[in-house]
Amino acid sequence: MKRILVTGGAGFVGSHLCKRLLEDGNEVIALDNFFTGSKQNVIELLQKPYFELIRHDVTMPVFAEVEEIYNLACPASPVHYQYNPIKTVKTSVMGAINLLGLAKRTNAKILQASTSEVYGDPKVHPQEESYWGHVNPIGIRSCYDEGKRVAETLFVNYASQNNVRTKIVRIFNTYGPNMHPNDGRVVSNFIVQALKNQDITVYGTGSQTRSFQYVDDLVEGMIKLMATEDDFTRPVNIGNPGEYSILELAEKIIKLTDSKSKIVYKPLPEDDPMQRCPDISLAKEKLNWEPKIKLEEGLKKTINYFKTTIS
């Protein structure tokens, strides 16, 4: 049994990760400031003797004796990370420094939840890990993109300078149960709108693409990456290479929910990336990982979840 710290453990991805780590026989400490996460996401875990939930902000130092750290604390939806951009930078950067400090003191392995946003609005397609990205450093997405890029820099430097055992996962758009109904991200927005027969809000023409991964596939990839040998510190893309336009996604969700919703077009937010698709060759080779859940199957599970949570 390992003692594992999951920051952002009450969030969407964090709650699934905590559940899986407990099922694998570990002791799990979830740490969260509940900015976008909620106790509800982990309520069923609270009865388990090897689960603890701590209210804490990662911009403040963290003390705990742990063997592994998954650093997920950071709002992920553009609506939420743009609400207080300075706080978003602090969460990524000071959070990384505090957790890396903890990893250094306790000799814990530490994994950073990075993002496909480090590639910005990419000029290389699909995106492989060697691509440096195309990020606007002063745009509305920069608090998140640059914060995550600095966090990667810190991870790489703590590995080389202080021998901390670091891992970096670059996560592509992920969806599933436990997303907040008002999260603002495209899958949850469209499903909630469709279930309520409200207008489906497509930003821009809807020709921009994303690659959508079901959360269980991501959790499997993160656990496999954490288990790699200590000197494997390179970033690894984890995502589903199935690429869809936002309009295609809207149409699929309308069909799967049998909804009467109409598609309406809203302005495209500034710096919204035009396309995104992971090259997952490295994950396949190094982790023997690839996504198993097809978009339609994952959407059905997510739709069922939202049916039970929204009225």
List the one residue out of 53, 50, 48 whose CA is nearest residue 3: 50
**Nearest distance from residue 180's CB to ligand UDP, in Å?**
12
Residue 144 annotated in active site: yes
Q: Does 201 bind ligand UDP (CB under 6 A)?
A: yes
How many residues bind ligand UDP, per CB under 6 A?
14
Residue from 174, 189, 209, 237 in contact with ligand NAD (CB under 6 A): 174
By CB under 6 A, the residues from 12 to 71 that bind ligand NAD are 12-14, 32-37, 57-59
Q: With CA atoms as reference, report the closest residue to 106 among 169, 22, 164.
A: 164
Strands 51-55 and 27-32, sheet pairing = parallel
| 173 binding ligand UDP? (CB under 6 A) | yes
| One-letter amino acid for residue 237 of the chain | N
12 within 8 A of 76, measured Cβ to Cβ: yes
189 binds ligand UDP (CB under 6 A): yes
Which does residue 99 touch among ligand NAD, ligand UDP, none (CB within 5 to 8 A, set by kind)? Answer: none
Task: Candidates 6, 11, 103, 186: give the one binding ligand NAD (CB under 6 A).
Answer: 11
Q: How far apart are CA 88 and CA 241, in angstroms?
A: 28
Residues 257-296 that bind ligand UDP (CB under 6 A): 269, 272
Q: Does 202 bind ligand UDP (CB under 6 A)?
A: yes
Residue closer to ligand UDP by CB (options 208, 257) is 208
Q: Of the two residues 7 and 261, which places its CB atom closer to ligand NAD in the complex?
A: 7
Cβ(21)–Cβ(4) below 8 Å: yes
Catalytic residue among 144, 158, 175, 214: 144
| β-strand partners of 7 | 31, 71
Span of 43-51, 169-177, 190-198, 295-303 interacting with ligand NAD by CB under 6 A? 169-177
Instruction: Provide DSSP, 75-137.
Output: --SHHHHTTSHHHHHHHHHHHHHHHHHHHHHHT-EEEEEEEGGGGBS-SSSSB-TT---B--T
Q: How far apart are CA 14 and CA 236, in angstroms?
A: 18
Q: Are 92 and 100 in contact (CB under 8 A)?
A: no
- The residues carrying an active-site annotation are 144
Binding site for ligand NAD (CB under 6 A): 7-8, 10-14, 32-37, 57-59, 72-76, 91, 95, 113, 115, 171, 173-174
Binding site for ligand UDP (CB under 6 A): 77-78, 173, 185-186, 189, 201-203, 208, 210, 246, 269, 272
